[in-house]
């Protein structure tokens, strides 16, 4: 039998995530011990990793050579201690998409002028709440929304979300692409543009910001497609001299599978430089996933281990309802044993990790090579920091979980 694998053998390890003396640690904390101190599923986020991600992205934005703004998309993870930490100790604002998110952002310390709203199917009651904040940036997703703002707040400054008919997402997946060949509900299309401008003019609204968000989870291999989308969106600027800010949305991804090459931020920033430097606009971004996804894990317990026919199953005490992205979007969470009996991967055997929801699709991983598992073991699902807790449901009334921010 060969010796233990060095931690670097696992694609997901990094300085603050890996095995120390055989036990999985995040930000210097023993995840199995943290899980054991709590009853039931536990969502954990590392404050230090979040701030490292914020700083790295902020620097990349700055190196575009343009004036910049940055908004954290709170839909990705709206845990209050996390939001308070971002509002208090970073120069980031908040991207929101609902009145409740507005209230959450304000409660957690973001100033209205540092909050940007981009939503879809926005009701009049939503608008009334949003318009009560004169300093809020509101990006309109339809010509009708421009009209309804004009009727309520003539003369206001607005942003417009455009659909550049180009886009991309993780591995080019259609479900993660918000603008492209398929018509989507997002943004105002080029053939509506003249109507949008006329509607704004009719109500004395000034369009000061141009917004687009063309997909989620893109990595370096998708950057050419992303640049094509940026170029297409940038061409909307020509008819709109009042635009002061171009918001390029979120969508920046993190590796989910072995072999995924991380997003090259220098190349990302170079796209912004090529498309916007010298054009007199501020470039804004509003990422969610990039900031929090790899900073968080979902900790579950093995409750049942049994071979069924030729498949070894390990049943866990939490299902896809606690982190729905793997089931919805095929963006896997990597399962890792918190205290593996052996780190020698040659001894590992395929196991299917099943959740506790009565749906056949509720399997975290099929045939995953894992160390021997037993009842009571703890499993960390890594990359659960974004769209895990925030998308969780109470399906089968198994929606209970604890959230924890690991202090930096």
Question: Which residue, among 118, 115, 124, 119, has the nearest Cα to 147 in the 3D structure?
Answer: 124
Q: Which is nearer to ligand PLP, 171 or 339 (CB)?
A: 171
At residue 193, the 3 state secondary structure works out as helix
Q: How far is CA 377 from CA 3, 33, 316, 317, 403, in A?
A: 22, 11, 9, 11, 20
CA 182, 187, 188, 190 dihedral sign is negative
User: How far apart are CB 320 and ligand PLP at their closest, in Å?
Assistant: 19
SS (H, E, C) 133-174: CCCCEEEECCHHHHHHHHHHCCCCEEEEEECCCCCCCHHHCH
Strands 42-46 and 402-406: parallel
In 3D, which of 58, 98, 54, 70 has the Cα closest to residue 248? 70
Nearer to ligand PLP, 232 or 301 (CB): 232
Nearest residue to the partner ligand PLP, using Cβ: 250
**Closest to 120 (Cα-Cα) out of 195, 192, 185, 178:** 185
Report the nearest approach of ligand PLP to the CB of residue 331 (Å).
10
In this complex, which beta carbon is closest to ligand PLP, that of residue 205 or of residue 219? Answer: 219
The least CB distance from residue 402 to ligand PLP, in Å, is 23
CA distances from 139 to 37, 241, 291, 329 (A): 44, 17, 22, 26
| Residues whose CB is less than 8 angstroms from the CB of residue 381 and which lie 6 or more positions away in sequence, other chains included | 297, 298, 299, 300, 323, 333, 334, 335, 336, 364
Give strand pairing partners of 403. Answer: 43
In the sheet that holds 29-30, the strands lie side by side as 17-20, 23-26, 29-30
Do residues 161 and 212 touch, judged by C-beta distance below 8 A?
Answer: yes
> Is the CB of 13 or the CB of 184 nearer to ligand PLP?
184
Q: How far is the CB of 294 from ligand PLP (least distance, A)?
A: 12
**What is the sign, positive or negative, of the torsion defined by CA atoms of 12, 292, 86, 156?**
positive
In the bound state with ligand PLP, the residue whose beta carbon lies nearer, of 117 and 348, is 117
As measured in angstroms, the least distance from the Cβ of 388 to ligand PLP is: 12
Q: How far is the CB of 137 from ligand PLP (least distance, A)?
A: 12
Q: Which is nearer to ligand PLP, 165 or 289 (CB)?
A: 289
The minimum distance between CB 72 and ligand PLP, in angstroms, equals 9
For the bound state, the minimum distance from the C-beta of residue 233 to ligand PLP, rounded and expressed in Å, comes to 13
Kindly state the smallest distance separating residue 186's Cβ from ligand PLP, in Å.
Answer: 7
The nearer residue to ligand PLP, 183 or 202, going by C-beta atoms, is 183
Nearest residue (CB) to ligand PLP, 60 versus 300: 60
State which residue, 95 or 377, has the beta carbon closest to ligand PLP: 95
Minimum Å gap between C-beta 247 and ligand PLP is: 8
Is the Cβ–Cβ distance between 384 and 43 less than 8 Å?
yes
Asked if 170 contacts 331 with a C-beta cutoff of 8 angstroms, the reply is: yes
Which positions touch ligand PLP (CB under 6 A)?
73, 76, 95, 118, 213, 216, 249-252, 286-290, 386
d(CA 11, CA 69): 32
Give CA–CA dist 66/70, Å, rounded.
Answer: 12
- Return the number of the residue (75 or 368) whose C-beta is nearest ligand PLP: 75
Give the residue with the Cβ less far from ligand PLP, 169 or 371.
169
What are the DSSP calls for 35-95, one per residue?
A: HHTSSS-EEEEEHHHHHHHHHHHHHHHHTTSS-EEEEEETTS---HHHHHHHHHHSS-EEE
| Minimum distance of ligand PLP from residue 210's CB (angstroms) | 13
């Amino acid at each position: 039998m060969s010796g233990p694998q060095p931690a670097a053998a696992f694609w997901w390890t990094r300085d603050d995530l890996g095995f120390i003396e055989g036990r999985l640690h995040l930000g210097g904390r023993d995840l199995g011990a943290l899980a054991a101190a709590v009853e039931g599923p536990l969502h954990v986020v590392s404050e230090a990793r979040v701030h490292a991600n914020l700083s790295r992205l902020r620097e990349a934005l700055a190196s575009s050579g343009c004036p910049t703004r940055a908004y954290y998309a709170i839909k990705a993870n709206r845990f209050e201690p996390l939001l308070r930490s971002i509002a208090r100790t970073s120069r980031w604002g908040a991207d929101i998409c609902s009145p409740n998110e507005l209230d959450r952002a304000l409660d957690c310390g973001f100033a209205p002028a540092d909050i940007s709203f981009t939503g879809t199917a926005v009701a009049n009651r939503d608008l009334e709440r949003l318009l009560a904040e004169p300093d809020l940036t509101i990006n309109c997703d339809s010509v009708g929304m421009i009209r309804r703002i004009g009727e309520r707040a003539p003369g206001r400054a607005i942003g417009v979300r455009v659909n550049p008919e180009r886009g991309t997402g993780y591995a080019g997946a259609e479900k993660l692409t918000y603008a492209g060949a398929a018509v989507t509900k997002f943004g105002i299309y080029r053939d509506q543009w003249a109507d949008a401008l006329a509607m704004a003019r009719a109500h004395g609204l000034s369009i000061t910001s141009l917004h687009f968000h063309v997909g989620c989870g893109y990595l370096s291999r998708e950057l050419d497609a992303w640049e094509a989308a940026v170029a297409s969106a940038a061409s909307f600027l020509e008819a709109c001299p009042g635009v002061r800010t171009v918001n390029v949305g979120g969508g920046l991804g993190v590796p989910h599978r072995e072999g995924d090459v991380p997003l090259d931020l220098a190349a990302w920033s170079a796209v912004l430089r090529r498309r916007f430097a010298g054009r007199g606009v501020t470039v804004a971004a509003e990422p969610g996933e990039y900031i929090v996804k790899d900073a968080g894990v979902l900790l579950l317990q093995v409750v049942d281990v049994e071979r069924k026919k030729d498949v070894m199953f390990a049943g866990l005490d939490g299902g896809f309802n606690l982190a729905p992205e793997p089931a919805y979007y095929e963006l896997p969470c990597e399962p890792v044993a918190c205290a593996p009996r052996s780190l020698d991967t040659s001894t590992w055997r395929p196991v299917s990790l099943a959740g506790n929801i009565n749906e056949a699709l509720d399997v975290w991983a099929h045939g995953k090579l894992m160390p021997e598992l037993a009842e009571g073991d703890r499993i960390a699902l890594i990359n659960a920091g974004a769209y895990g807790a925030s998308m969780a449901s109470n399906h089968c009334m198994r929606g209970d979980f604890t959230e924890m921010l690991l202090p930096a």
